[in-house]
Amino acid sequence: MRRVRVYDSMAREVRDFAPIAPPRVGLFVCGLTPYDEAHIGHARTFVFFDIVARALTRWGYRVFSVQNVTNLDDKVIERAAEIGADPLELAERHFLEWAASAERLGIRTVNYYPHATDYIPEILTQIRSLIDRGFAYASEGSVYYEIAKFPRYGELSGQRTEALRPGARIEVDPAKRAPEDFVIWKAATPGEPSWESPWGPGRPGWHIEDTAITLRLFGPRYDLHGGGLDLIFPHHESEIALAEGATWESPLVNYWMHGGMLTMRGEKMSKSLGNVYALSAALDEFGPMVLRFFYMNAHYRSPLDFARGQSFEEAREAYATLAKPADRIAEILERDGPERPGVDLPDDLANEAEGLIDRLDTTLADDFNTRETIALLFGFSRLLSSRLAELESFHGAALEELRAPYAWAESVLGLFVRTPVGRTGAWATIVPVALAARSRARARGDFAEADRIRDALAAAGILLEDHGSETRWSFGTPK
């Protein structure tokens, strides 16, 4: 296998990648809280980890990629109350909208999108374990994690627990033993979804949803945990405390990978600030290739500033320049076929194409440096662009040699894609999740919600046929 180096946020340095049980790799990425439409800031993180999974797969690893869906939390409940919707139905609707955008964007490596509320039994089991081991306590119908019992809290972020004292991150809560303790089971509030528990009816806290999922799917330890820099504290810090407190195994994760934020005029893109650009709108206006190129033409750990009306136009022009030779080669091969007659490649072109793929792999394997990888592709495209007229003279096999670096980029970076993703793409994972949600709606007699899910899939070109208790799906024309 190729040597891969990864910047580990815990170690604060680039380390050689060594999975726990090679060639298997467990990858968990903090996913959406779908209380509203996904924006282009979300997509930057998810495109990057799509590339990570693609690249590791190319290099011989077997990646099991999981991206959770926080389908119930304070934001979902608050937004649902504002518009008079059911919180779980609101979250499912926005998740399906995201799934359609992810498919268009070519994010096809996620094996499973677990929804938090499908893991209530695992959450309750973990809470019981934390209480039994002295890390958590019940109070007034809620359960809290006692940070003082976990001395390593703050190791990932470098933050001190004083940052969680009143006036910093949280409000005073008389039910807590200490201000910095965080809730892992919230006592039920009238009108909100709740589940029965040994401590009274309630719902899970944010941090424990993720660890319940990963403990079930990966066990007490796994290889890679990804997310945005904004999640390091307190979310990822709390995940470590929860999982290691419940299992007494350490470390929870071998490598923590965090991507830089997408900013607008220097500010984090956030719905609360009103400076968001909806992902679906960006896809409609500029297309998936320009968006993917825009994200990867910067190092993933660097902030990426977005100037509306300018950044994507610049990216569109740059990508058109990069793709011009690739498109021309593909057009010739589509027109004449791979057996077309012609002359051999001149030595300089043959040598450049032959060595480029290894350089691309080597560059990307150094902490997934997409920016330098793109620079190598630009160098190749500039060379071919200066000799476009010659392309018509080469035989099919010669053109395939020139196309090989672009085929590498299509497979690993998701660029230069000329046809839609098929049934083996992201829909193969996403549609079953939607069908399960539709089945749950039908089982509880909510046929309006079942019809809405069917219509949302139809709008993205996915057609459903009910055959008794079985539902089959196929591609059709988007409505």
Q: How buried is 170 (Cβ within 10 angstroms: 0-12 exposed, 13-18 middle, 19+ buried)?
A: middle
For residue 251, whether the previous peptide bond is cis, meaning omega lies within 30 degrees of 0, is: yes
Q: How far apart are CA 283 and CA 81, in angstroms?
A: 29
Give pLDDT, residue 395. 96
DSSP string, 42-75: HHHHHHHHHHHHHHHHHTT-EEEEEE-B--SSHH
Q: Which residue has the higher pLDDT, 308 or 324?
A: 324
Q: In angstroms, what CA-CA distances link 391 with 361, 395, 398, 400?
A: 26, 9, 9, 11
For 292-331, give one letter per residue: b (16+ CB within 10 A) or e: bbbbbbbbbbeebebeeeebbeebbebbeebbebbebbbe
Q: How far apart are CA 343 and CA 467, in angstroms?
A: 56
Give pLDDT, residue 349. 94
Residue type, 112: Y
Q: 182 has which bridge partners?
A: 145
Q: State pLDDT tens for residues 414-441.
A: 999 975 444 445 566 677 778 878 888 8
Give pLDDT, residue 434. 81
The token duo for 338 is 């791979």
Q: How confident is the model at residue 307 (pLDDT cuts 50, 70, 90)?
A: confident
Average pLDDT of span 278-285 = 91
Position of tokens 């319940």?
Answer: 212
Q: Which of 179, 197, 177 is nearest to 187 (CA)?
A: 197
Contact status, residue 29 vs residue 44, Cβ threshold 8 Å = no
Q: How far apart are CA 478 and CA 210, in angstroms?
A: 34
Q: How buried is 449 (Cβ within 10 angstroms: 0-12 exposed, 13-18 middle, 19+ buried)?
A: buried
Contact status, residue 106 vs residue 292, Cβ threshold 8 Å = yes
Q: Which residue has the higher pLDDT, 163 or 104?
A: 104
Average pLDDT of span 51-55 = 98
- Taken as a whole, the chain contains a residue count of 479
Per cent of the chain over pLDDT 90 is 77
Q: How far apart are CA 30 and CA 426, in angstroms?
A: 17
Give pLDDT, residue 400. 96
Domains and CATH numbers, the chain: 5-259 (3.40.50.620), 306-412 (1.20.120), 427-445+454-475 (no CATH)
Average pLDDT of span 267-296 = 86
Evaluate if residue 479 carries a pLDDT over 60: no
CA angle 237, 243, 247 (to 5 degrees): 145
Q: Describe the strand order of the beta sheet including 304-305 as a list of residue ranges.
A: 267-268, 262-264, 304-305
Q: How far apart are CA 54 and CA 255, in angstroms?
A: 18
Give pLDDT, residue 165. 58
Q: How far apart are CA 120 and CA 66, in angstroms?
A: 18
Contact status, residue 20 vs residue 222, Cβ threshold 8 Å = yes
Give pLDDT, residue 429. 61
- Kind and range of the H or E run holding 159: none
Q: How far apart are CA 358 and CA 364, in angstroms?
A: 10
Q: In angstroms, what CA-CA distances link 469 with 441, 466, 472?
A: 14, 7, 10
Evaluate if residue 270 carries a pLDDT over 50: yes
